[in-house]
Structure 1
Amino acid sequence: MIADFQPLGTPQTILAGLVGSGIARSRTPAMHEAEGAANGLRYVYRLFDTDRIGPPRLSIGDIVSSAENCGFSGLNVTYPYKLAVMEHLDHLSENAQAVGAVNTVVFREGKRIGHNTDHWGFAESFRQTLSGATASRTLLVGAGGAGVAVAFALMDNGVEHLSVYDKDPEKAQALVQAVCRQNGAGSASVTDDIETTSRATDGLVNATPVGMDKLPGLPVPHACLRPSMWVADVIYFPMETELLKAARAVGCRVMGGAGMAVYQAVRAFELFTGLSADADRMSSRFAELGE
């Protein structure tokens, strides 16, 4: 049992959910419910897909309030709400403050507490999937809620310089400033020319929604891909995004979004329940669900 934590409601019942846009194919509910059952819990996990709610379309604030009022233990938060949800919370955990984005909200003792489990989820997946890969110079595409978590995870995994691209230059600049504050001046920079930047990088991470079922396509020009580089994508539905297919065809070493999805869920489960999760068991359940 994790010390000093008791989930809301009875010890046998947990109600949790995931808020996002276009998440109908998410494997998160099945992972959480199976792990809950394995721990002897009555665990119910629901999706709040804002593409399917309404009209009128509910705001992230409305959904957080409704879940809290209905006795939820917590919510996971995904695209496009990881930044927007922060203004509806009472407190941020240390890691959420450091990252500047929230993907997990815990309702506890009348407070809404924001956490970030994406940071550890990506870092752990990278360590296991791309072990030994050189990552001293890395290109990150996307500076939104997923991108900020990935940026700090990459720095923790030994990246010496991070180049950041976002279609919104202000977002990219804000992330670069945050990375430099924590890792030193010159540790990150904004790029507006990803083709040129990619030629001098060891690897590339897509942290944009481009490649999801609802937003198919390549997030970078095909010319950015070289056989000597590794390519990672945070998306897992579909499992094989167009970026990963193109990278494999070129000869790149690749990492999909499955690992990040599993490991962030491991930490979120522990936050919701106060119990330790079995990462191997959750990973197996994830794989069983197929495409």
Structure 2
Amino acid sequence: MTDRYLVGLIGTNIMKSLSPALHEDAMAAAGAHGFYHLMDLSIMKRELGAVVGSLFTVGFSGVNVTHPYKEAVLEHLHEVSPQAREIGAVNTVVVGSDGKTTGYNTDRIGFKRGFEEVLGENAAKGQSALLLGAGGAGKAVAWAMVDLGIRHLYIFDKDTGRAASLAADINQISATDICRAVADPTDVAGQVAGIVNATPIGMMGYPGMAIDAALIAPSHWVADIVYTPLMTELISTARRKGCVTVTGAGMCVHQAAEAFRLFTGITPDAQRMTRLFNDLVVKRDAKLLADNA
């Protein structure tokens, strides 16, 4: 096993990502050496397939993949893990010593662990929830909700066909009738225990909320996968209404920890990662506020 790693992140609008600091610190803590390289394809003006195809030649051990490439990357990989194939999205690619690329999904376990840290492992069990977004991240979160024991999951996406397809896939694979696509969040918001945002809305560059604030009630728990900024408009609005909230912090840290393990074979200290994340996000978000003042 090597003690030197070149890893990175492929996506767009990623230059404020905290992933480099999290992974490089985990390497240092493990006595390894490495560099985490950000590859924003909108800046690089490169095609996804060309970048993935060059990873082995350049010397990468692996890469994370984020919006908007979690689904598109599947066709450019040699292999995809059964769970990532089930989800239909990849956020972690490992490059083997033979040059083969294998796709995994660590978002599913990342969201589950982050949710459990805040609300407990039984908070969603037997409950109903509304999921906003059926893209690459939404697919992983939907499966995480199934893992958490959700009884009914209503899925909304502006692309109604995508929401219907995700609901049908989960019901078929799980041999249940857990999921249903909805054309309008208004139809079910009053019936659910919780609301999850798995869209990029709320992220830096994508302002706003994916749901009308009037639909959020104090009785809801509200989760957001966005962590740039950590205090999204959705989370701020929910907290003002008295909701219990789950920010994108836990998912970010735990998916990173699992990805690091896949890249290196080393299980990182997740508590150390969490402490570093908290320190970094305070400084980063303070700078974002100052820059936008």
TM-score by length of 1: 0.93
**What residue ranges of structure 1 are gaps of 5+ in the alignment?**
1-5
Give 1:74's match in structure 2, choosing from 62, 68, 83. Answer: 62
Mapping for residues 79-118 of structure 1, pairs under 5 Å: 79-108=67-96, 109-118=98-107
Mapping for residues 107-256 of structure 1, pairs under 5 Å: 107-108=95-96, 109-131=98-120, 132-134=122-124, 136-256=127-247
Counterpart of 1:51 in 2: which secondary structure?
A: helix
Report the count of equivalent residues.
279
- Bigger shift: 202-211 or 128-137? 128-137
Q: Which amino acid aligns with 1:93?
A: S
Contact 2:134 2:155 (C-alpha < 8 Å) held by counterparts: yes
Counterpart of 1:127 in 2: which secondary structure?
A: helix
Counterpart of 2:229 in 1: which secondary structure?
A: coil
Give 1:24's match in structure 2, choosing from 1, 4, 15. Answer: 15
| Separation in 2, partners of 1:151, 1:251 | 25
Mapping for residues 29-68 of structure 1, pairs under 5 Å: 29-53=20-44, 57-68=45-56
Q: Which amino acid aligns with 2:58?
A: C
Moved over 6 A (4+): none
| Separation in 2, partners of 1:156, 1:286 | 25
| Separation in 2, partners of 1:230, 1:59 | 39
1:3 matched to which residue of 2?
Answer: none
Q: CA deviation at 1:133?
A: 2.9
Partner deviation per Cα, 1:254-291 (whole Å, 9 max, x = no partner)? 00101000000001001110111111111111112122
Identity score, percent: 43
CA RMSD between the two structures? 1.1
1:284 matched to which residue of 2?
Answer: 275
| Separation in 2, partners of 1:214, 1:62 | 26
| Separation in 2, partners of 1:245, 1:51 | 30
Contact 1:148 1:175 (C-alpha < 8 Å) held by counterparts: yes
More helix by share: 2
Q: Which amino acid aligns with 1:116?
A: N
Q: CA deviation at 1:129?
A: 1.0
- Bigger shift: 223-232 or 129-138? 129-138
| Separation in 2, partners of 1:161, 1:225 | 18
Q: CA deviation at 1:134?
A: 4.4
Q: Which has the higher contact order (CA 8 A, sep 6+)?
A: 1
| Separation in 2, partners of 1:19, 1:199 | 38
**What residue ranges of structure 2 are gaps of 5+ in the alignment?**
286-293
Q: CA deviation at 1:62?
A: 1.6
